Amino acid sequence: MLLFLLEVGCVEALICFDGTNMINKPDDSNGRTPLHFAAKVKAKDIVAHLLQTDPSSAYVKDVNGRTPLLEAASLGHLSVLREILKHCPDTVEISNEEGRNAAHFALKCELSRSKAVLKEPEVVRLVNEADRGGNTPLHVAAEDLNYRMVKRLLKMPEVDLRAKNKAGRTFLDICESRWQYTKKQEFLYRYLKSLPPGRKPHSWNHSDNPPTRLDKPDADLKGHANALSIVAALLATVTFAAAFTLPGGLTPDDNNIGAPVPQPSPLCNFHDSPDCQLKPGHPILIHQPAFKVFIIADVLASSTSLTVLFILIAAMLADDTALRRAIVYSKNLLYLSLGGTLVAFMTGLVSVISTDVKWLGYAVWVIGLSVPFLIKYFEFKSFTSTPVFLHRHLSMESWKKPRSFSRSEKSGNETESFDDKRNWSESVGIYLGPLTNRFSSRRSCTDDQKACALDSEQTYKQNCQTLLMVATLITTMTFAAAFTMPGAYNNNAGPGQGMALLQSSSHLKWFIISDTIAMTCSTMAASLILWGSAFGKRPVVHCYVIAAVLTCIALQSTAISFVTGLVAVLPDQTYVRTVSCVVGSVFHVNTSLFLFRLAQIFSFSEICLSVISHLRRLKCIINSHGANG
């Protein structure tokens, strides 16, 4: 009844019902008072009214040892926390039965809410306070693999990085033992290395090359090397061929100089391109800056990909240590090769676009230059968040407890929590009811589930290798198509020499844009797969999903570029337009239907929960900005 009165806002009726005795009296078997409920639902006005009536209610603990202040801290309800501290500032010193205070509980809520709570001066003074096990909030965040919260705590100058728990371990000791073979460890080391000497942990003894998944005894080194060899061979092939099918073409032979100049096409509209005296067989666009960059980037991409082939072929016959080192070097060189291929693609394409269509050149630059930033974003997301719908495939996650509980709390306090991050199956059941009953039965880990999880991980790795081949093939195909320009180039001396003949055609413009999108998406897909293959299951699955989406976009864009390029060179042929449109439409419809069928592996409940989680995150961001404002 008390909870009902709180929800409808009848505080006066609650107080008048039985005075202050009713306020301090627990309402259920868990020992929660009305102030606990008010803190849970973020009812600031109700909290203020209850505290004005009886401030002693702020000191009442439930069966888990939580006060209303700890409840507000665990949920990130900043306004409620401030209201309690306003009336009872000494409640911040109260901890639960395990010795954990408001700073420990602030780790459980969303990052934006945690940041706001940890900025409160009263909470800042608690960041180095330890629980009964000697664990500070930084220890707890490291133990829970909460990378974002660890990074947030490291930014606070008040946090002692050298604090040890009762087991004699610093937070860095925990990271080195639990964060192996993950990108989190590398980012953490990189950040700690930038700290001033006075703040660095005493146990700072890591190497500049932290261990990766390739260092594990059961790593599939041969599989990695074979996949990298195929990718390097494809890149070497296409960049080698591009060096001799130069954009803009070559200067014609002297024997053709006296021949009559053909009339330009109505689609041609040239007002630029210098009329330089070039020797026969020399590139027409040799004096353009973009063309010079194209040559340098193409040589870089070709040489690095060939170097990768030499390294891997030589290392195949060596021991595992040499092969592991060769794979690491080859990946770095392959990144360089992919970057050089992308730069060569952009500069070569821009060099044959006339200044009359500047927007087209700008579009190519914008799409191409966005690739590094998107890759970094996807790499960061691959280990800091996992899409909700992937929990179904990550079967090992089904027997892990939710991250809202710290590891020491899992032993005794699993029966009750007001944290919004509840157990996966419980959240699904609460919001979506009977649609997700099948998740409720997945409580324990059996040997069959473990075997299934391992098989699933191997399947993802095999699929990643296949997807890597497809993405690389699309990269080579779109790269080659950009320099065998539909309609060829203008080889006639005079304005516009070396430019694309059909650049005024709307179909050719669509060809260039769609080909650029296909090239960039396939390059990003290949880079993500190469990056994720060296780390744990979670980055592998996340990179696989993102790369699959990017590859589908690249396939669709490749089909569009094929159709538009074909129509551009045959503008007056009605049957070509008709057949191209029909075939292209059928392809896109079939692809869309396939993707729709593929999406059906995700249940309706998972999709709904994913939407709910994103809406909650957006609400948290809005509320945090409102509270700070």
Distance CA 518, CA 512 (A): 10
pTM above 0.85, yes or no: no
Tens of pLDDT, residue by residue over 594-624, are: 666 555 545 555 556 556 666 776 676 677 6
Max CA pair span of the chain? 110
The token duo for 413 is: 């306090």
Confidence of residue 479 (pLDDT cuts 50, 70, 90): confident
Using the predicted structure, report yes or no on whether residue 150 has a pLDDT greater than 50. Answer: yes
**Average pLDDT of span 177-185:** 61
Domain ranges of the chain: 2-126, 574-629
Q: Which residues contact 594 (CB under 8 A, 6 or more apart)?
A: none
Using the predicted structure, report yes or no on whether residue 245 has a pLDDT greater than 70. Answer: yes
Distance CA 98, CA 100 (A): 6
Of 383 and 47, the one with more pLDDT? 47
The three-point CA angle 56-137-63 to 5° equals 40
Distance CA 32, CA 25 (A): 8
Report pLDDT for 84: 92
**Average pLDDT of span 138-160:** 83
**Average pLDDT of span 23-28:** 62
Q: What is the mean pLDDT of the chain?
A: 71
The token duo for 509 is: 């413009």
17 touches 6 (CB < 8 A): no
Give the range among 125-134, 423-432, 490-499, 598-607 with minimum mean pLDDT: 423-432
Coil, strand, or helix at residue 615?
helix
Using the predicted structure, report yes or no on whether residue 252 has a pLDDT greater than 70. Answer: no
Q: Please tell me the CATH superfamily of domain 2-126, with its number.
A: Ankyrin repeat-containing domain (1.25.40.20)
Q: How far is CA 21 from CA 49, 100, 253, in A?
A: 15, 28, 104
**What is the number of other CB atoms lying within 10 angstroms of the CB of residue 289?**
11
Q: What is the 3-state secondary structure (H, E, C) of 410-424?
A: CCCCCCCCCCCCCCH
